[in-house]
Amino acid sequence: MANTANTTAKTGVSFTDKVLGFLGMGDEGKVQRFHKRYVKSNEKQISIRKDDIEQLKEKLDDVREQSSDDTVNINLDRIKSTEDVARYIEDYRGIQIANIKEAKSLTKQIKAKEEEIAMFKELNELVQG
């Protein structure tokens, strides 16, 4: 994709100029309208994903806070005997593992949204020359 940008920079031919070469000058308004709507659509997709990221970050903060609370919140009623401790360890570990998995899942979702934003920005750069 960098080659396309370099080619455009070297030749000085924009996306609109290339399309107009194929369509003829009478269609210039249509191409410009399409171009404007395309860029605007990509910008809207970027905005949507930024909002999604903010919501995911809030959820991630909540999960981290819950994980911290769960780590120090040991149910003393469940560890009265050696047998109770053995059973509670599995439950306690399960809660911690669930919190870690949820945090990792949210982090992956955030990264995926960030990659999508980068893609939409790149798409706009391609057509804006």
Residue 113 reports pLDDT greater than 80: yes
Residue 40 reports pLDDT greater than 80: yes
Amino acid 67: pLDDT: 94
Any long-range contacts for 11-17 (C-beta under 8 Å, 24+ apart)? 13/129, 14/128, 14/129, 15/126, 15/127, 15/128, 15/129
Average pLDDT, the chain: 87
Residue 121 reports pLDDT greater than 80: yes
What digits encode the pLDDT tens for the residues 70-111?
Answer: 999 898 998 999 999 999 999 999 999 999 999 999 999 999
Answer whether 24's CB lies under 8 Å from 13's CB: no
Residue 78 DSSP symbol: G
pLDDT average, residue stretch 101-122: 98
**Which of the listed ranges 13-17, 30-34, 38-42 does the model predict with the highest average pLDDT?**
38-42
Amino acid 32: pLDDT: 83
Amino acid 59: pLDDT: 98
Q: Sorting pLDDT into bands at 50, 70 and 90, what band is 15?
A: confident
